[in-house]
A and B are shown apart, each in its own frame.
Chain A
């Protein structure tokens, strides 16, 4: 969760100099953004010929740096280069900056879609029926809407993620709904205009 990048983090980043290739640097930067994993840390240690604890520190430092870039929405090379200490290896600094810039837009989009939120509306299905009679009225023609909304909470476990709500709407309820949605639309126009 920390977004402060310390001198110690940058010191750990110099372990990237042991990478077998630029692609290896790219791979570890991108993977580290997702967070630590034991298998990934072990693979990195083997690939870079460093100890597992060094690999863990490297991953954590890259994770902190990439999260910082996303949090502050750093989008220019100058903004990212400015984070590094003066003494940092120049070519490595340029490579890391390039990799962060290549990925930051994707990471920001991911962050936006993984925000805390209530379940999101995913699908809506409906049907209009004509009620022609009931136990109290023998002949009538009353339209009624059957509605099903499907919601998804992407932050839940897969089997708990999707829920549905099913209901019947009278004409009056529909009008109230439309009135409310119209007001939201009007407010959106006001907000968009600002």
Chain B
């Protein structure tokens, strides 16, 4: 289950991650266009949907789905490029 953490606490989070040893095992994504809704007949709203599968050491899989607006997606992409750059140099 997903435990809400009250705030970003680096050391505690690292302990939690190590304790849980959750590994990302699968990523699925979809780029969609919202065309209409009960409040707006005509939308032209792209969004990105992502589903992550995470496994614990026993192999039990949990999945989490979320959506992003395009600016949120671009921010996410930018973060991952930063991570890759760091992992390259480390």
Contacts and interface: CB of A to CB of B under 8 A. Distances in A.
Interface of A: 1, 67, 70-73, 108, 111-112, 114-121, 123-130, 141, 143, 145-149, 151, 162-171, 173-178, 180-182, 184-185, 187-188, 191
Given A112-B45, A115-B39, A128 B31 contact: no
A181 B24 contact: no
B20 to A, nearest CB: 7
A71 B40 contact: yes
The secondary structure that dominates the A interface is mixed
A124 B74 CA distance: 12
The 7 A-B residue pairs whose C-beta atoms are closest, nearest first, are A111-B39, A143-B87, A118-B67, A143-B90, A163-B2, A167-B22, A173-B24
A146 B66 contact: no
A170 B23 contact: yes
A117 B80 CA distance: 24
B66 A174 contact: no
11 contacts: A70-B39, A112-B45, A118-B67, A120-B66, A128-B90, A165-B52, A166-B13, A168-B23, A184-B31, A184-B73, A188-B31
